[in-house]
Structure 1
Amino acid sequence: MADKFDGKWQLHASENFEALMAKTGCPDESIRTAMKAVKDTTLEIFHEGDKWTFLNHTVFGARPAVFQIGVPTPTTTLDKRPLTATLTLEGDTLIRHATGDGFSVKHIRNVVNDEMILILICEDVVAYRRYHRVD
């Protein structure tokens, strides 16, 4: 079931993401820049066994992040703030727990047909992002 996440995904909808970015302490200028470029955001996901690679293409540039299932991994936010993230696969759901300086965000990914739904939770703020699969 993990194979359903593999591929290239185009962001097509985002709800409450601005509030989530603010909750994590993201600078206002970075939030404004990111919100203007929703349609220009793509994500490539591929895995081999327990090794997963996420390649984000955003206004902040292209950034790979590599995770081993269950292993805490140092990485950065898209605006380059340090954090530690742990990726798990629970049934049909891909979950990433990320903790940075003063914040923690849970990323919950599910694929339904050719749409990937990402739910992000930071304390009392919940954001949604929807991606279409592109070939």
Structure 2
Amino acid sequence: MASAIGKWKIEHSVNFEEYMKAIGVSDEKRLDAHKFLSDGSNMTQEISDNGGSWSIKTTTAAGEKTITFKLGEELDTMTLDGRNIKVLFSADGDKLVENQTGNGFQCKHVRHGDGNTLTMILTGGGQTCIRTYVKC
């Protein structure tokens, strides 16, 4: 999972709109997501491990959100579109796996770094989205 540590800027997304629809993101919030989270938005994710206490700081033009967690410990938080969820992070080899459960949906985000590239695969609602980030 050390390969995911660093600061990453969004570069490219495949199937983002369809994925958001599949997990129940409202029309209004999808418009915001395209503005603040899509390719060309300059959104960043900074992933760090401080002795087993992990954090992911997401920064967009609309603001920033930091989630702090320990692997294997479920926590209550909110999606970027404001829905309450339970999240459980784990390791799968060198991949950081995030499982989200909310009202009426479940999804999985898998992050894996490879040199100067971070690939994030999002699955939920029968859809898969692949997001590629570059190291800042």
Matches of 2:70 and 2:62, distance apart in 1: 24
Residue 25 of structure 1: CA displacement?
1.3
The percentage of counterpart residues that share the same residue type is 31
TM-score w.r.t. structure 2 length? 0.92
Matches of 1:105 and 1:19, distance apart in 2: 13
Matches of 2:90 and 2:27, distance apart in 1: 31
Alignment deviations for residues 16-35 of structure 1 (CA, whole Å, 9 cap, x no partner): 11111111211111111211
Which residue type is aligned with residue 92 of structure 2?
A: E
Which residue is equivalent to 1:19?
A: 18
- Conserved in 2, the CA contact under 8 Å of 1:52 and 1:66? yes
- Conserved in 2, the CA contact under 8 Å of 1:60 and 1:79? no
1:118 is paired with a residue of what secondary structure? strand
- The runs of at least 4 aligned residues of structure 1 exceeding 4 Å deviation read none
Which residue is equivalent to 1:71?
A: 73
- Conserved in 1, the CA contact under 8 Å of 2:3 and 2:115? no
Which residue is equivalent to 1:101?
A: 103
Which residue is equivalent to 1:9?
A: 8
TM-score w.r.t. structure 1 length? 0.92
Q: Does 1:28 align with 2:27?
A: yes
- What 5-or-longer segments of structure 1 have no aligned partner? none
Q: RMSD in angstroms over aligned alpha carbons?
A: 1.2
1:26 is paired with a residue of what secondary structure? coil
- Conserved in 2, the CA contact under 8 Å of 1:118 and 1:130? yes
